[in-house]
Structure 1
């Protein structure tokens, strides 16, 4: 496919995403099946164009004066990729299989338009209805926080210390040029090329042998701040595919016992193969069985209950830019109800002197601080661990992270702008 043909295909895919309101990954996969002539390079370039356009949908539409798929793609090429009007015109020249030539108005907007005077939700590329919730957390910084969430995310790996040291893993992946990440002592970061295409890490021997896992540095930090106790009893109540379960097992050096559970049995499906590959021996998976209470014997016994709560995912917009345009206020309200119920259930498993770590990949106070405040009003036996103390679990980088991160009254918040990670919130409660 020519570069112009890829742009025409991107416009088609963006239109489909808006029409059917399905995740962009599904639409791209369907497009690939129906266009067998497109090679892997074409599909990768198309994916990059579509994701980049969705990242900057609001600002691109503002620049071009309309929100059509074509306008959003044009605006992204100018704002996101820094192309000048003449370069864009060579791609939009009306040739066969390519998009129509630029109009005079499009040329003028690409040449002279700017984001001067744009409201925060446009400059930050997020839905207008989220402006007030984000302002409650970030104030006048919300547009810059949103803009950072509209950038591409790097590829982060977590070294599995049950199988390798960070130096050994870096040597095994030297051809990918990994570098030590800023905060987590377990993290290696691989910068992606200009087209955003990630290397096939899952085919690397280091991955196949369980020496590394794909995991954002922010997610790694969250598990470290939860501080799973070596030799202790830990319940991962929303384990999903097992990312934090595996990390906790390594942090505990395979000692003690971790119980991995998720109410959605489908989310648990990958965990068994991942545990085997990682060489984890201290995890017991508790699978839901109808109405049976498979966690009843754990009540009041856990040193740590980890709640990686289901949330709106506002902190992961770098990786899922289409999700920010599909989210609705009703979804936020539903998540808030679910989170409160999960926290109340989690409290029953914490033993006296134990802790409850509450984690989300959200930046909204409704899902973070408000949940902690509500929990404390319902459970008088718990107290908040001072957020300023949590980063110290990282060791040497902890003090620097304490300065870089946003310390909220109820927990620690990581953001792409402040910490270079996905957005995460971590709050820890102790039972008296």
Structure 2
């Protein structure tokens, strides 16, 4: 496919995402199946264009004064990729399978329009209805923070210390440009390729052999702040595919026991192969059973319970940009109710002096500090751990600078820590 044909394909996919409110990944998959002539590089190139456009949908439409898929894609080429008018004109040539040539109004907007005077939801590329929550979280920095959420996410890896060292992994992945992550002691960051796409790890021996795992640095920090110790009894209550479970197993040096559970057995399914590949031997998967309590025997036995709570995913907008435009207020209310239920239910598993660590990949106060404070108000036997104490227990005292100013816990975001957005709070019994 020519570069112009890729642009035309991206406009087609964006149209389907918008008109049918489909997840972009599904629309891209179907496009690939119906255009089998497109090679892997073509599919990746189209996907990159689609995701860049979705990240900057509001600001791209503003600068082009056109909210159609064509206008948004064109605006994203200007804002995200910094193309000059001549370069955009070459892509919109009307030749072959390229989109129709630029009109005079499009050429004028592309050349001179800016975001000057744009309201915060446009400049920061987020839904209007979220502005009160995001302003509560960030105050005057709301545009800076949300604009960072509209950028591309890096490819971060966690070195599996059960099998390997960061020094060895750095040496093996040097040709990919891997470098240590700034904050996580077992993290690596791999830069984008020359074409702007993330490097594929599917053929890398270190990945295939479980020596490294794909995991955002923020997620790594959240696991480290649990301060799981060898020999402890740990429950990962919302384990999903097991990313944080694997990180906890490495912290505990395969000693003690981790119980990995998720209410959805399908989400938990991939954990078995990942555990085997990683060499994690102290993890027991607890699959939900119809009509039975799969965790009944853990009541009052756990030193640590981790709740990686279902949330709106605001902190992961860099990776799932279409999700922010499909999100509705009812989804936030539903998540808050689920979070309160999880926190209340988790308390029964802790032994005296046990600790509960609540994590979200959200930056909304309603899902974070407000939930911790509501739990503390209903459970007088619990207290919030100081951010400084959590950072020190993790062996990373410098993380104390990310202490929340809105309540207990720590906050990470692309603008402040260079990671996905995460909230982490520790709640100790007794």
| Distance across 2 between alignment mates of 1:406 and 1:84 | 41
2:98 alignment partner, SS class: coil
User: Which region of structure 1 is more displaced relative to structure 2, 109-118 or 92-101?
Assistant: 92-101
| Distance across 2 between alignment mates of 1:196 and 1:226 | 34
Encode CA deviations 1:218-251: one digit per residue, 9 max, x unaligned: 0000010111122111000000001111110100
Encode CA deviations 1:255-298: one digit per residue, 9 max, x unaligned: 01111100000000000000111111111111111010111110
Encode CA deviations 1:68-117: one digit per residue, 9 max, x unaligned: 00000111111111112222112112223111111111111111111001
C-alpha contact (below 8 Å) 1:222/1:426 kept by paired residues: yes
| Distance across 1 between alignment mates of 2:70 and 2:162 | 49
| Distance across 2 between alignment mates of 1:377 and 1:270 | 37
| Distance across 2 between alignment mates of 1:405 and 1:411 | 6
| Distance across 1 between alignment mates of 2:39 and 2:372 | 49
For structure 1, the 5+ residue unaligned runs are none
2:321 alignment partner, SS class: coil
1:413 maps to 2:400 = no
Encode CA deviations 1:193-222: one digit per residue, 9 max, x unaligned: 243322221321111211111100000000
Where does 1:95-114 land on structure 2 (aligned, <5 Å)? 95-114=95-114
C-alpha contact (below 8 Å) 1:241/1:270 kept by paired residues: yes
Where does 1:244-263 land on structure 2 (aligned, <5 Å)? 244-263=244-263
User: Which region of structure 1 is more displaced relative to structure 2, 187-196 or 328-337?
Assistant: 187-196
Which residue does the alignment assign to 1:2? 2
C-alpha contact (below 8 Å) 1:48/1:195 kept by paired residues: no
Which residue does the alignment assign to 1:15? 15
What RMSD, in angstroms, separates the aligned Cα atoms of the two structures? 1.2
Where does 1:184-223 land on structure 2 (aligned, <5 Å)? 184-223=184-223
Which residue does the alignment assign to 2:427? 429
C-alpha contact (below 8 Å) 2:403/2:409 kept by paired residues: no
User: Which region of structure 1 is more displaced relative to structure 2, 194-203 or 299-308?
Assistant: 194-203
Structure 1 residue 408: deviation in Å? Answer: 3.9
| Distance across 2 between alignment mates of 1:407 and 1:181 | 25
Which residue does the alignment assign to 1:398? 397
| Distance across 2 between alignment mates of 1:418 and 1:194 | 26
| Distance across 2 between alignment mates of 1:298 and 1:138 | 39
Encode CA deviations 1:371-415: one digit per residue, 9 max, x unaligned: 0011011111100001232222443x532x333565542110000
Where does 1:134-173 land on structure 2 (aligned, <5 Å)? 134-173=134-173
| Distance across 2 between alignment mates of 1:35 and 1:393 | 53
| Distance across 2 between alignment mates of 1:195 and 1:416 | 22
1:280 alignment partner, SS class: coil
| Distance across 2 between alignment mates of 1:220 and 1:405 | 17
1:426 alignment partner, SS class: strand
TM-score w.r.t. the length of structure 1 is 0.97
C-alpha contact (below 8 Å) 1:405/1:418 kept by paired residues: no
| Distance across 1 between alignment mates of 2:274 and 2:419 | 23
C-alpha contact (below 8 Å) 2:227/2:394 kept by paired residues: no
Which residue does the alignment assign to 1:232? 232
1:353 alignment partner, SS class: strand
Where does 1:276-291 land on structure 2 (aligned, <5 Å)? 276-291=276-291
Which residue does the alignment assign to 2:29? 29
2:416 alignment partner, SS class: helix
User: Which region of structure 1 is more displaced relative to structure 2, 171-180 or 209-218?
Assistant: 171-180
Encode CA deviations 1:12-63: one digit per residue, 9 max, x unaligned: 0000111121111111111011001111111111111000000000000110
C-alpha contact (below 8 Å) 1:94/1:101 kept by paired residues: yes
Which residue does the alignment assign to 2:338? 338
Which residue does the alignment assign to 1:358? 358
1:305 alignment partner, SS class: strand
Structure 1 residue 302: deviation in Å? Answer: 0.5
C-alpha contact (below 8 Å) 1:387/1:408 kept by paired residues: no
C-alpha contact (below 8 Å) 2:59/2:123 kept by paired residues: yes
2:132 alignment partner, SS class: helix
Aligned length: 430
Structure 1 residue 175: deviation in Å? Answer: 2.0
TM-score w.r.t. the length of structure 2 is 0.98
For structure 2, the 5+ residue unaligned runs are none
| Distance across 1 between alignment mates of 2:165 and 2:405 | 31
C-alpha contact (below 8 Å) 2:226/2:394 kept by paired residues: no
User: Which region of structure 1 is more displaced relative to structure 2, 92-101 or 263-272?
Assistant: 92-101
